[in-house]
């Protein structure tokens, strides 16, 4: 009897720094061209997207600077940890991304790496870099909403006990 395929989305790695440093304009889901040892290493949940970026070269999208450590039980067929990886996207999506990324201040960054129905997918985003004061303002807004939510929760608790 065949094994049932694992359905659903299993997160491997997330790039929280990208959401802090950039304003996300548009997101895309892409496949990745990987070696067997890379998939095995990713199944162990080991990857880092922090310094990653996407570059479009001659009509092909390439993912640079993501770190997938070498597979521990790998032999001479092991992959290099920081190699560039090809993204699998439709030509129209690549052309659209390339034209938007050429605008001043825009870049393409990876947001998440995950398994979907047994295949490795990466969520990439067209993003615009934030200025330092924008980052501080975003942090202040998050802190303010957190404080108001705490105050509301505390008031509800006091109201229930009274």
Taken as a whole, the chain contains a residue count of 162
Question: Which pLDDT does position 16 carry in this prediction?
Answer: 86
User: Which pLDDT tens digit goes with each residue over 80-122?
Assistant: 667 788 899 999 998 989 888 888 788 889 999 998 888 889 9
User: Which pLDDT tens digit goes with each residue over 22-48?
Assistant: 888 989 999 998 877 788 888 887 788
User: Which pLDDT tens digit goes with each residue over 57-86?
Assistant: 888 889 998 887 777 676 667 666 677 888
Query: Which residue ranges make up each domain of the chain?
Result: 9-130, 132-162
Beta-bridged to residue 116, according to DSSP, are 9, 119
DSSP 23: E
Tell whether pTM > 0.75. Answer: no
Tokens of 49: 């997207």
CATH of 9-130, one of 3.30.70.3040, 1.10.1660.10, 3.40.50.720, 2.40.280.10: 2.40.280.10
């Amino acid at each position: 009897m065949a094994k049932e395929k694992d359905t659903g989305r299993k997160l491997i790695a997330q790039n929280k720094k990208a959401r802090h440093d950039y304003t996300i304009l548009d997101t895309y889901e892409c496949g990745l061209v990987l070696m067997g040892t890379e998939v095995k290493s990713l199944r162990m949940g080991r990857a880092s997207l922090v310094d990653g970026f996407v570059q479009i070269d001659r009509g092909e999208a390439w993912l640079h600077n993501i770190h997938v450590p070498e597979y521990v039980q790998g032999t001479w067929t092991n992959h290099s940890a920081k190699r560039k990886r090809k993204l699998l996207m439709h030509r129209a999506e690549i052309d659209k991304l390339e034209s938007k990324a050429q605008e001043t201040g825009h870049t393409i960054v990876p947001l998440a790496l995950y398994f979907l129905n047994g295949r490795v997918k990466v969520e990439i985003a067209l993003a615009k870099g934030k200025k330092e004061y924008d980052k501080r303002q975003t942090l202040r807004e998050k802190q303010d909403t957190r404080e108001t939510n705490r105050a509301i929760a505390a008031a509800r608790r006091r109201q229930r006990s009274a």
